Amino acid sequence: MCLCGLEMGKSDSCNFKRVKLGKKIYNRVDDSFDDNKRCHDCGILNKKGNIHHVFCDMEKCPKCGRQLISCQIFGGCDAKEYMEFMK
Ligand SMILES: [Zn+2]
Ligand SMILES: [Zn+2]
Ligand SMILES: [Zn+2]
């Protein structure tokens, strides 16, 4: 189960469309791996408009372009910023 409340592997997209990094709110990246197949990690359908579930290793950070999960582990682009997922 993702933090968004949906079950991974049975949902086409995450419910959280935005992420707050520091004081700024970004739209989550939806073109990480656009091939119309299920994501090997979080199970979403990879196509434009669909968002990976929280903690998926395929999602890119909207701020720095690296893996978002590494920004999560290091607290937001290595800067120990506040991070929150939002609808
Ligand atoms: Zn989700
Ligand atoms: Zn994924
Ligand atoms: Zn980042």
Distance between Cα 35 and ligand 3 center (Å): 23
Ligand nearest to the CA of 60: 3
**Residue range 13-56, pLDDT digits in tens:** 999 999 998 889 999 998 766 678 999 999 999 988 999 999 99
Return the C-alpha torsion angle 23, 50, 11, 26, nearest 10.
Answer: 0
**Ligand 1 ion: Cβ-proximal residues, 5 Å cutoff:** 2, 4, 14, 53
DSSP H or E run through 18: strand 18-21
d(CA 32, CA 21): 19
Using the predicted structure, report yes or no on whether residue 7 has a pLDDT greater than 80: yes
pTM: 0.88
CA 8 to chain centre: 13
Distance between Cα 43 and ligand 3 center (Å): 22
Distance between Cα 42 and ligand 1 center (Å): 9
